[in-house]
Chain A
Amino acid sequence: MIAAHLPALQIVIPLAAAPLCLLLRKGDLAWALSLLVSLIALAISAVLLSQVLAHGPISYELGGWAPPWGIEYRIDVLNAFVLLIVAAIGAVTIPYARRSIADELPESQLGGFYTALLLCLTGLLGVAITGDAFNLFVFLEISSLSSYVLIAMGRDRRALTAAFQYLVMGTIGATFIVIGIGLLYMATGTLNMADLGARIPALGANRTIIVAFAFLTVGATLKLALFPLHFWLPNAYAYAPSAVTAFLAATATKVSIYILLRFFYTIFGPAFQAEDLTLHSLFIPLAVIAVLVCSTVAIFQINVKRMLAYSSIAQIGYMMIGVSFDTVTGLTAGMVHLFNHAVIKGGLFMALGCIVLRVGTCQIDDLAGLGRRMPLTMFAFVLGGLSLIGVPLTAGFISKWYLVQAAIELDDWVVAAAILGGSLLAVIYVWRVVESAYLRPAPENAPDEVSEAPWSMLVPTYILIGASIYFGVETSLNVGVARAAAQFLLGGAG
């Protein structure tokens, strides 16, 4: 019987475990509990995905209240895919976090840290799983509030201003979303997304709907850091604890893109934004600018974490390009990249976390000579960097392949050139790190005892880096599921 309640357990287990972490107080106990919970969440999400692929969407009525009155958890290919990404990244981050966080936080804060991390995981999973618009907002706030706390825990005092900046921007975004949802409720009288999707076409593009759409779109793009609404992101990623950066970079913005997709395709229907509002004529230029400008900005960063943060904004640009094409290939490309980038950037930030643990900073000059002193970590970074560039046999290549293919299908040569141009900019910023690590001698005053990172951090790093190679060769999971989701979105609602 437990199998029928898996959708609820996906959320309830991490939610219930979060306060327990605070009660346990001891860092290691809280960590062990978090690890267990994250593994269970991963298992549940894997089972859910396989069920959805085999039998179609799952609907779960929370508390037995039938939708549209009660809250419905509705899992189709799209959000099963997102659930798997979030849960998998969670399950890899938590083993990694133990050493990394113990080094960056005082013992007294460890229980609180794992509480916040589990709450953030709960929120992100909840956003993905729910079929109710208001419930989505609630989970979004859970994840956002806990991520402000997590970022503020950074060792650097600038983490506080970074968290505050993110708090302000994130709250504006969330407020916009709740206003949008309120307007929709006013116009339709329902909060269930499937129900909304059924009623809105009948209302047509009246002003309330359009305003609601505008609020939701701006709110979601703020959360996903689409250029030019990205200013909160670099500082937040740069000053948060390493494990938090890895976790958020791989999940938070991805879930926000999911929100946008869900609004566009399930609630409003592809015809609404594509034909009535021709939103892609706005999104594609913005996304192209994001790719080119933020990749260029990344080249000039001296803090490698900030560099990767700017790279993330550029990569979000790639996803938005794919998503905005409104074709099966384009959506597939966007979602493949959503998956691949989660894996790649998670791995890269983890490698960077290993460096921070041993060296103490991640300024590009402090990396000099690390290729010899931390060979495994730096090699992981190089592999991740190659994947970010999109070299064949890496996941990044698969993303670029589909993105360019989608652009060529529409004869959009400018965008195709921009995608490839972004790769070349990535070569430059990745290679600055490689040159520093491998071709510069270690500085004279460098601490001698810099050695390889502990296994508990290297293994999770290599799991993600290995995955970024694996999914570049064997693509049936990422491409297959992404294509199924794309077809579902375009076919199901169109």
Chain B
Amino acid sequence: MSGSAAILLSILIPLVGAGLIALNGRNPNLREAVTLGTAALLFIVVLTLLPEVSAGGRPQATLIEMLPGLPLAFEVEPLGMLFGLVAAGLWIVNSVYSIGYMRGNNEKNQTRFYVCFAVAISSAMGIAFAGNMMTLFVFYEVLTLCTYPLVTHKGNEDARRGGRTYLGILLSTSIGLQLLAILWTWQVAGTLDFTEGGILSGKASGAVVGILLLLYMYGIGKAALMPFHRWLPAAMVAPTPVSALLHAVAVVKAGVFTVMKVAVYIFGIDLLRDTGHGQWLAYIAAATILIASLVALTKDNLKARLAYSTVSQLSYIVLGAALASSWSVIGGSMHIAMHAMGKITLFFCAGAIYTATHKTEISQMDGLGRVMPFTYAAFLIGALSIIGLPPLGGSWSKWYLALGAAESDQIVMIAVLMISSLLNVAYLMPIAARGFFLPAPHSPTLGEPHAASVGAAAAPQTRGIREAPMFCVVPLCLTALGCVALFFFADPLYRLLEPIATP
């Protein structure tokens, strides 16, 4: 299969899948089979692109000329390859998990859920493989819109309010700031193609670069740079599989991926370094890392805590772009994969706990670790990976980020990274510790197993293991193993990403 066909197929396959899912709404088993089949097929197609890209090839495809000089065009480079692989690969695991979660909780409108999910993946592929900023922007907006029904899935007052924040922030930043930045870039540079070394170098200087960078960084609301991060906690009203794949992987990673793309291919690392505008961006990112971690400490709701943790971790990647050194860019890009694997595990665990016990607050989860040992073990591994301890994947990206900070003489940033790791310990480890070591609360109202009246809800103080459905537990074990695997097989990742930092 040629490169360009694979690119177009990877966008088309989830869309066709969405159509088939919609047609099979009356037959849930067939519908889920379609989802899984589509996900597997997509991953294989994306995988076929890997050898060519690793060998230095840049497969291209052009769809249609939307505006004169601005086609919907695609080009796969290492960063996009990485993002594409992460999103497509985790979609398979997440689909398995979705089946367990959605059925375990008897959610309504499951067909709409799977359809929107497939469309979201399609647009994530479009973002990953976009060949110019225009194409990226198009899919960026589609991703915002097709995830809105997922965020508001429950359809109650909370969902409505969450959806409003979600759409309000994401659309207003992208239309108000990012689109303006894109138009300005088009005016200044005369092109929007992603080009090695950047398209703005030599075309813009001084204050213009600074203002453009500001417009881009805050315009890419999905990167959740403070103070435009509120949408991410708001999105937590969605069912957990959505939070897991979209709001820990696809959507937020689309944001930081765009940040990386803009930094590397629109501005160019050299321009950012030479003009010194990366400097203040690094401080904003550092502030976001620390403040979001502190906020996470105060949250008792597990998903809210994880959401703020995501806000904090996303800024690692922005920091990688802002430091504008080859190590930091590699570290930041690697963090896309490392954080994705770790955070999806944590969200899977949160969803599994909810499915099994209907608990959402951390303070209610004492002693659960002994009832759900697999879930809690996976949680521990995911948490350690986020913290950045070997032998887990997260340690590599932090390592390279710290190297990058040293390379650009930003010793403060090394300190920020270290403090952040400590904060991660402070907000993640208590969850696991409470689960394993604290005694379960003795509240009779929660414990009585009223003849399966609560469905899958199991009481923590009943002896023995009461895990969530298999469809929930197996995926989270797989992603936990993935965190370990990423530590030992980080080398291919590094080799894949090397060209973007050393043009």
Contacts and interface: CB of A to CB of B under 8 A. Distances in A.
B416 interface: no
A420 to B, nearest CB: 5
Contacts of B118: none
Main secondary structure of the interface of A (DSSP, over half): helix
B179 to A, nearest CB: 7
Contacts of B138: 392-393
B180 A439 contact: no
Interface in B118-165: 137-138, 141-142, 145, 149, 152, 155, 159-160, 163-164
Q: Give the most central of A389, A392, A420: most B CB within 10 Å.
A: A392
B22 to A, nearest CB: 12
B437 to A, nearest CB: 43
Contacts of B68: 479
Contact of B66 (A404, A409, A424, A473): A473
Contacts of B66: 398, 472-475
B12 to A, nearest CB: 15
A401 B167 contact: no
B184 interface: yes
B64 A473 contact: yes
Interface stretch (B80-88, B170-178, B285-293): B170-178
A400 B178 CA distance: 13
Interface residues of B, number: 29
A318 B68 CA distance: 22
A424 B183 CA distance: 17
A401 B172 contact: no
B455 interface: no
B55 interface: no
Contact of B180 (A416, A435, A475): A416
B176 A420 contact: yes
B175 A408 contact: no
Contact of B67 (A409, A416, A475): A475
Interface string A352-370: 0000000000000000000
Contacts of B67: 398, 401, 475, 479
Contacts of A427: 167-168, 171-172, 175
Contacts of A472: 66
Given A427-B168, A479-B67, A420 B187 contact: no
Interface string A21-41: 000000000000000000000
Given A401-B67, A424-B171, A408 B163 contact: no
A-B residue pairs, 6 tightest by C-beta: A392-B138, A439-B160, A392-B141, A408-B187, A404-B183, A424-B172
A408 B184 contact: yes
Interface string A415-455: 01100110110010001000100110000000000000000
B175 A423 contact: yes
Nearest to A394: B141
B399 interface: no
A420 B159 contact: no
B186 interface: yes
A472 B64 CA distance: 11
A444 B171 CA distance: 33
Given A392-B138, A404-B180, 17 more contacts: A386-B145, A390-B175, A393-B138, A416-B183, A420-B175, A420-B179, A421-B176, A424-B171, A424-B175, A424-B176, A435-B163, A438-B152, A439-B159, A473-B64, A473-B72, A474-B66, A475-B66
B-side binding surface: helix, strand, loop or mixed?
helix
B187 A391 contact: no
Contacts of B137: 392
A74 B498 CA distance: 64
A420 B64 CA distance: 25
A171 interface: no
Chain A: number of interface residues, binned into ranges: 20 to 34
A405 interface: yes
B172 A404 contact: no
A405 B134 CA distance: 14
Interface of B: 64, 66-68, 72, 137-138, 141-142, 145, 149, 152, 155, 159-160, 163-164, 167-168, 171-172, 175-176, 179-180, 183-184, 186-187
14 contacts: A386-B145, A398-B67, A401-B183, A408-B183, A408-B184, A408-B187, A420-B179, A424-B171, A424-B175, A424-B176, A431-B167, A435-B163, A439-B155, A473-B66
Interface string A130-152: 00000000000000000000000
Contact of B141 (A391, A408, A416, A439): A391
Contact of A435 (B160, B176, B186): B160
Contacts of B183: 401, 404-405, 408, 416
Nearest to A428: B168
A396 to B, nearest CB: 11
A417 B152 CA distance: 30
A486 to B, nearest CB: 14
Contacts of B64: 473-474
B143 to A, nearest CB: 11
Nearest to B63: A473
Given A427-B171, A475-B66, A409 B187 contact: yes
A474 B141 CA distance: 18
A58 B152 CA distance: 56
Interface string A191-228: 00000000000000000000000000000000000000
Contacts of A435: 160, 163-164
A29 to B, nearest CB: 41
A435 B141 CA distance: 19
A400 B152 CA distance: 28
A423 B176 CA distance: 8
Contacts of A391: 141, 145
Contacts of A438: 149, 152, 155
Interface string A151-177: 000000000000000000000000000
Nearest to B134: A392
A321 to B, nearest CB: 15
A473 B137 CA distance: 14
Nearest to A386: B145
B133 to A, nearest CB: 12
Contacts of B175: 389-390, 420, 423-424, 427
Contacts of B160: 435, 439
Nearest to A411: B187
A202 B140 CA distance: 55
